[in-house]
Amino acid sequence: VQLVESGGGLVQAGGSLRLSCTGSGSGFTLDDYAVAWFRQAPGKEREGVSCFSDSDDMIYYADSVKGRFIISGDHAKNTVYLQMNDLKPEDTAVYYCAAVWGRPSYETYGSDWFYDHWGQGTQVTVSS
């Protein structure tokens, strides 16, 4: 399974960006794989941001992004999107998508050890 992210960039505080994560490879479908977004800021640990698990119709958000970020999936394109609104300087980080065959729980969706496949990351910078 290969994951490719796109959509990062530089935006002012209060602005919006949409990240995309497209999966490919043998057997990859959003019917079977959960896809999550993580982020890592300089000097900080990697943080689970959101997860799209269509096999059990579950979506998870970290408290820090609830009400501002929206995750969605397009089965035909094998792509998961992260719409990021009202961006803040503290959202600045490298954003990674990750995938796992299976269903994460509330306790595991934000745990990087749970995921088997990772993208290369895309930089998001929010200026104040």
Q: Burial of 101 by CB count in 10 Å (0-12 exposed, 13-18 middle, 19+ buried)?
A: middle
Closest CA to 116 of 6, 8, 32: 32
Q: What is the pLDDT of residue 26?
A: 77
pLDDT digits (tens, 9 = 90+) for 81-119: 999 999 999 999 999 999 999 899 988 999 999 999 999
Find the mean pLDDT for residues 36-40. Answer: 98
Q: How many helices and strands, by DSSP H and E, does the chain display?
A: 0, 11
pLDDT digits (tens, 9 = 90+) for 78-88: 999 999 999 99
Give the integer Cα–Cα distance in Å for 6 and 100. 19
Q: What is the pLDDT of residue 50?
A: 97
Look-up: residue for tokens 């792509």? 79
Computed over every residue of the chain, the mean pLDDT equals 96
Confidence of residue 3 (pLDDT cuts 50, 70, 90): very high
